Structure 1
Amino acid sequence: MKREFEIIDHPSIKYLNIFLVDMDYRTSHLHRELEIDLVLEGKLSIFSKQQVYELDGGSSILLNSNQPHEIRTSESKSTLLCLQVSPNFCKSYFRGISNLVFDSARLEQHITGDSYKYITSLIIEMAYQYFARPKGFEFSCLSMLNLLFGILLNKLPYHEISDDEKNKNKLKVERLTRILNYVDEHYTHKIRLSDIAKIEGLSMTYLSQFIKENLNQSFQDYVNNLRFSHAKKLLTQDMKLLDVCLECGFSDYRYLHKAFLDNVGCTPAEYKKKLSNDSKAVRMKSSLHTIENYYSEQDTLDVIRKLRLDHLPVLRDIPNPLFSE
């Protein structure tokens, strides 16, 4: 069963997961880890909490723990370097981390100039140490992680929530997770908001508003986006368009046709032809309605090693932002 509450594994270093991914679409999801995304190439939009963040190469974003977010690209390829950090990494000496909420998602909005160059270079170096694994890389990664969060705490606005508010947020997260799971299991068939409202014991008005506030889109728009992304994947296979339409839950081919015109500016048939002419466009992995390609550890290291040539001198030449003012 597909769960949109993502469980993050930490294979190399406890509390830290780093990966490189080519992103096309990632359905709305949430996880306990804080996430920092650095765009290496391309343009994308991140939808979260009634906000849309437009990012391009060199931009970065910070997402709080349990913050729902959906990722869409505006180009055929957007490459992200992602850091997912469990709040437990510093809980023994900074106990308030689990009650801390950053108020600004775009890092460069409050961290500019040399300070921004420094933290992006710090992220690149952390990724290099993580994948190259020289002797003592665990110490290097965790020291840089602590330094990074020290800078973020001093440069970004944030607020602290009470334990009562934290518990209320936990209940909201659990409800949202149940809703996303239900949609995952039923979106290929006829699905109604009233069915979920009945299961959750909520009014249609409240549930509709709850979904809009957390997913930044209406219930029907969310369902249609899942169906559309599923259709994009199925078009890479040898399936008839009518079969794709039925498999994705579109009740009429006209709805599938409109979804492709609205999202990629061409018909399903034209999109399928484009894929057949460009094998590189088929870079799809993960769940049925998520389109992303994770780099292998070796491929990630090859990319990061090249980036490091430009970023390592920054760490040598630019003072630590914590001590430069």
Structure 2
Amino acid sequence: MYKEQFNPSQIMTERYYEFHHSYNEIPPVVEFHQHPFYEIFFFLSGDVTYIIEGRSYKLRPGDILLTSSSDIHRPDIRPGRPYERIVIWLADDFFEHLQDFFDEDFTACFTDAALKDYRLIRPDSENIAHLMQLCTQMSKARHSTGMGCRALASAYLTEFLVYVSRAYYDAPDSVKNDITENDKINQIISYINENLSEELSLDQLADRFYISKYYLSRQFKQFTGLSLYQYIMKKRLISARNMLRAGSPVMDACLCCGFGDYSNFLKAFKREFGQNPSKYSRG
């Protein structure tokens, strides 16, 4: 299977999906990030704990993580073992095409994982072998120049999505033993995500959840990897971006996501996403 080096840009350049099989002897430095598409992370080797929205997942080879367009995430990669993974990026357009053709919603497991804040799949050994075989076939088809190679790659990807979805709903409860989390921080994260248009100061959150603001600051940073301010700012900007992609006017996105000052919103948006809100459109 073709391997590539890690690309830190995290930008999707193809319309429907991208397939990346990456291998690093020296662990790359990956900052907290998010992206306006779905991601399937298929872990193959390394010493990695993956942080997603305040939960840390201690990964085993064959584990799969699902993230969508609102999830802030980052792998914590320790040296000593090669870091190998397959990452598949999927645009809304691809899922809409599958919905129209097969009358199946393949985003359902992503949606359910986001609602439950539980994004880890741990397939059994037979399923891992089957998923690896599909990835090998997908990679081969994508690098082929024969007739129908792109159609063949899409067919393998569709089969891959079927088995990932099945594995998600069949996941055993025992995988929760490899998740590090804090109930209070989980409650605060849920509250933030449900109230992005409201005041979300440190003092206000500490009062609401009956916790010292100093303790809250330390615990929030420990479990999310971000300060409370950084997390809230990123989530507001992500929400604004998703509103713009859905067709909302820039001012509506600004106000609905808790930005009282339009000029500050413009600056923050460009700093986070590299372009002005007015130029950020779907696709």
Normalising by the residue count of structure 1, what TM-score does the alignment of the two structures yield? Answer: 0.45
User: For 2:120, which of 106, 110, 113 is the aligned residue?
Assistant: 106
User: For 1:203, which of 194, 201, 204 is the aligned residue?
Assistant: 201
One-letter identity of the residue aligned with 1:153: S
Tell me, what secondary structure is at the counterpart of 2:32? Answer: strand
Distance 2:161 2:20 in 1: 19
Task: Tell me which of the two structures has the higher relative contact order, counting C-alpha pairs closer than 8 angstroms and 6 or more residues apart.
Answer: 1
* Alignment deviations for residues 81-128 of structure 1 (CA, whole Å, 9 cap, x no partner): 2111113203145275567514253332xx313223211221232122
When residues 141 and 30 of structure 1 are mapped into structure 2, their CA distance, relative to the original with a 3 A threshold, is: same
* Alignment deviations for residues 181-213 of structure 1 (CA, whole Å, 9 cap, x no partner): xxxxxxxxxxxxxxxxxxx96422449879949
Q: What's the CA shift for 1:221?
A: 12
- 1:219 counterpart = 2:227: yes
Tell me, what secondary structure is at the counterpart of 2:70? Answer: coil
One-letter identity of the residue aligned with 1:50: G
Tell me, what secondary structure is at the counterpart of 1:61? Answer: strand
| Contact 1:129-1:141 within 8 A present in 2 as well | yes
Distance 1:37 1:87 in 2: 17
Distance 2:140 2:112 in 1: 26
Distance 1:93 1:130 in 2: 19
- 1:65 counterpart = 2:77: no
Ranges of 4+ aligned residues in structure 1 off by more than 6 Å: 207-211, 220-223
Percent identity among equivalent residues?
A: 12
Query: What residue ranges of structure 1 are gaps of 5+ in the alignment?
Result: 159-168, 176-199, 224-325
Alignment match, 1:84: 89
Distance 1:93 1:83 in 2: 16
Q: What's the CA shift for 1:131?
A: 2.7
One-letter identity of the residue aligned with 1:64: S
Larger Rg: 1
Alignment match, 1:48: 52
When residues 53 and 112 of structure 1 are mapped into structure 2, their CA distance, relative to the original with a 3 A threshold, is: same
Q: What's the CA shift for 1:130?
A: 1.7
Alignment match, 2:278: none
Tell me, what secondary structure is at the counterpart of 1:26? Answer: coil
When residues 116 and 80 of structure 1 are mapped into structure 2, their CA distance, relative to the original with a 3 A threshold, is: closer
Normalising by the residue count of structure 2, what TM-score does the alignment of the two structures yield? Answer: 0.51
| Contact 1:47-1:70 within 8 A present in 2 as well | yes
When residues 7 and 43 of structure 1 are mapped into structure 2, their CA distance, relative to the original with a 3 A threshold, is: same
| Contact 1:43-1:57 within 8 A present in 2 as well | no
When residues 114 and 68 of structure 1 are mapped into structure 2, their CA distance, relative to the original with a 3 A threshold, is: same
Distance 1:80 1:221 in 2: 31
Tell me, what secondary structure is at the counterpart of 1:25? Answer: coil
Tell me, what secondary structure is at the counterpart of 1:30? Answer: coil
Alignment match, 2:130: 118
- 1:150 counterpart = 2:155: no
Alignment match, 1:9: 13
One-letter identity of the residue aligned with 1:51: R
When residues 19 and 203 of structure 1 are mapped into structure 2, their CA distance, relative to the original with a 3 A threshold, is: same
**Number of residue pairs matched?**
181
Alignment match, 1:30: 34
| Contact 2:62-2:128 within 8 A present in 1 as well | no
| Contact 1:48-1:67 within 8 A present in 2 as well | yes
Distance 2:165 2:62 in 1: 21
| Contact 2:220-2:228 within 8 A present in 1 as well | no
Alignment match, 1:185: none
Alignment match, 2:179: none
Tell me, what secondary structure is at the counterpart of 1:27? Answer: coil
Distance 1:24 1:114 in 2: 30
Query: What residue ranges of structure 2 are gaps of 5+ in the alignment?
Result: 1-7, 171-189, 207-212, 232-283
| Contact 2:45-2:60 within 8 A present in 1 as well | yes
Alignment match, 2:141: 129
When residues 41 and 5 of structure 1 are mapped into structure 2, their CA distance, relative to the original with a 3 A threshold, is: closer
Distance 1:89 1:60 in 2: 20
